[in-house]
Amino acid sequence: MTRDQKKIFKKILFYLVLAVIVIYLLFPFYWAISSSLKSEAQLSMTPATLIPRDPDTGEISFFTRNYRAIFSNGGFVRGLINSTIVATSTTILALLTGSFAAFALGKLRFKGKTPALYTILAMTMFPQVTVLSGLYAVINALNLSARVSMIFTYLLFTLPFTTWVLTSFFRDLPDEIMQSAQVDGATPFQTFHMILLPLTAPALVTTGLLSFIQAWNEYLFALTFTSIDPSSRTVPVAIQFFSGEFARQEPFGEIMAAAVMVTIPIVVLVLIFQKRIVAGLTAGAVKG
């Protein structure tokens, strides 16, 4: 085999492997979209069909039946609203509190800073189920509403993550920036919110989006805290209660349609902030 043939063979092998990886990653999304456009009869067909079709009428309205069904379900619409309120509130609180903590841990000098960092890191390692019963008892004692309970309990896993990630970004900012601000008479708070915070905008967008995704997809806490208040169910819990709600059998088509609709806001946010996300993920990767 000549040198040129080896290059061609390597290129073919590379694109073949790349195609396999792309299909492996994208096929579940395609299957969800395809299933959301199928009827219950098509979903039960053997072998399964890759392309949705209506052999009887061929009408376009047939393919949107599952989507019309989920939006006519008040529980799903309320779930979208509740998820938006809870995830947005959690993200804002996590960024506000986490940025202050990250500034202190990354730029200020005080005793116990290293143990505090490791404590924050350790908090991210606890499984949710281990603290669920204790949190439920505290929430019942305080008599908090379901939405407020979810917002504050979601901070249990979003706030440590936000603080830990932002700390590394604040630490990488040159100390000369703070020193110059102090020479100009700026207080530490002014230095933080007027100079350093704008410089960490890519990091704020990245951690904020990841925190939003965590809160948007959270299921265990939401299922527990909304058990006595169904009107506060978030969308993952609302989808779980689709079972038997529209038909005697599992409404897989409607479940898939709901899953597609729940994914769309995340995709839109990623597309809007993709430049900031890339900048945040690559910040600090190259120095000098």
152-198 pLDDT per residue, tens = 999 988 999 899 888 888 888 888 887 888 888 888 788 888 888 88
Q: Band of the pLDDT at 242, cuts 50, 70, 90? A: confident
E strand or H helix that includes residue 283:
none
How far is it, in rounded angstroms, from Cα 273 to Cα 214? 17
**143 has pLDDT over 70:** yes
- In this structure, the answer to whether residues 36 and 87 fall within a common structural domain is no
Which residue range(s) make up the domain with 143?
66-287
153 and 96: one domain? Answer: yes
Is there a single domain that holds both residue 49 and residue 142? no
* 173 closest CA partner among 199, 153, 194: 199
- Cβ atoms 79, 233 nearer than 8 A: yes
Round the average pLDDT of the chain to a whole number and report it.
Answer: 82
In the block, tokens 């689709």 appear at: 242
Q: Is 56 found in the same domain as 72?
A: no
Same domain, 57 and 155: no
* Amino acid, single-letter form, for residue 197: L
pLDDT-based confidence at residue 215 (cuts at 50, 70, 90): very high
Q: Tell whether 85 and 114 lie within a shared domain.
A: yes
- How many folded domains does the chain comprise? 2
Burial class (CB in 10 A: 0-12, 13-18, 19+), 47: exposed
Supply the pTM of this predicted model. 0.81
